[in-house]
Amino acid sequence: MKYDTQIINEKKIVFCRLEGDPNIDEAVSLAISLREKAAQLGFNVFYDARKMCVPESVMPAHDFSTKLSSLLGTSILRAIKVAFLYEPSRFNSHWKFWEDVSMNRGLQFMGFTDEEEAMEWLSS
């Protein structure tokens, strides 16, 4: 999995562009570090995952959310809003499952296919 990150002050987001095949352990580590940076700045997190490969099953979404929620100890890190921008595709149900599992574990996570909608949700 490749990624690059940046701080976008005018939008108050920690931005991360993802590409390639996801690695659960690397993704969890990245998610925690981005949430920590966002909490420090009072920002939220925005992932552009349009170039990320989506696995054939929903189990990686379940495993990621389970592992991440068990490692996020503070309510500050759980309170960070995380928006995920993805391409509409045959994997829409995967992203919806990921969203549901994350929300059920107390994480503020929403998937979007429209960047403006994602930014609007992050700023609300």
Q: How many domains does the chain have?
A: 1
- The pTM score is 0.89
Residue 29 maps to which CATH number?
Answer: 3.30.750.24
Number of C-alpha atoms within 13 angstroms, CB side, residue 1?
21
pLDDT average, residue stretch 13-26:
93
Domain membership of residue 85 as a residue range: 2-123
How far apart CA 33 and CA 115 sit, in angstroms, is 23
Q: Which residues have C-beta within 8 Å of that of residue 19, sequence separation ≥ 6? A: 1, 2, 3, 51, 52
Average pLDDT of the residues of the chain: 88
Whether the per-residue pLDDT at 54 is higher than 90: the answer is: no
* pLDDT tens column, 62-115: 788 888 888 886 677 778 999 999 988 756 777 788 788 888 888 889 999 999
Burial (CB count within 10 angstroms: exposed 0-12, middle 13-18, buried 19+), residue 4: exposed
- DSSP annotation of 54 reads P
Sign of the alpha-carbon torsion through 70, 71, 73, 77: negative
Residue 5 near residue 34 (C-beta atoms within 8 A): yes
